[in-house]
């Protein structure tokens, strides 16, 4: 039975050869902007819920059809979250 190769061990960042760029750290401002955007999106999605009783009059439709407005906003958020996460991890050199 052939012997398997020993597992490769990652070298620490301090052992990187000179001239090799180290990973760039994300600043606190960038994290604050992302947090603000997340809060803004969640507030926008919940603003539709109090309007459910008024939507049939505003949209000139039945209440069962107007309830799809809430479903559509939640569905759009559920679909766009992983898509935006994937796009956020893409880089020009690594590809998507």
Distance (Å, whole) CA 96 – CA 90: 5
**pTM score of the predicted model:** 0.49
pLDDT in tens, the chain (96 residues): 566 666 665 555 555 566 666 566 656 777 888 889 888 888 887 887 888 889 899 989 998 888 888 888 888 888 988 888 787 777 655 666
CB atoms within 10 A of CB 66: 19
**24 occurs within a structural domain:** no
**37 occurs within a structural domain:** no
Query: Count of domains in the chain?
Result: 1
- Give the pLDDT score at 31: 80
Cα angle, residue 88 at apex, residues 86 and 90 outer, rounded to 5°: 75
- Give the pLDDT score at 9: 59
The boundaries of the domain holding residue 69 are 43-78
Spatial contact of 16 and 22, defined as CB atoms under 8 Å apart? yes
- Give the pLDDT score at 81: 83
């Amino acid at each position: 039975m052939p012997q398997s190769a020993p597992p490769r061990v990652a070298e620490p960042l301090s052992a990187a050869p000179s001239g090799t760029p180290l990973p760039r750290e994300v600043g606190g401002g960038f994290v604050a902007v992302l947090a603000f955007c997340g809060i803004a999106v969640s507030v926008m999605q919940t603003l539709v819920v109090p309007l459910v009783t008024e939507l049939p009059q505003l949209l000139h439709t039945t209440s069962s059809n107007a309830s799809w407005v809430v479903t559509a906003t939640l569905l759009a958020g559920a679909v766009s979250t992983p898509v935006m996460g994937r796009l956020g991890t893409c880089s020009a050199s690594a590809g998507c």
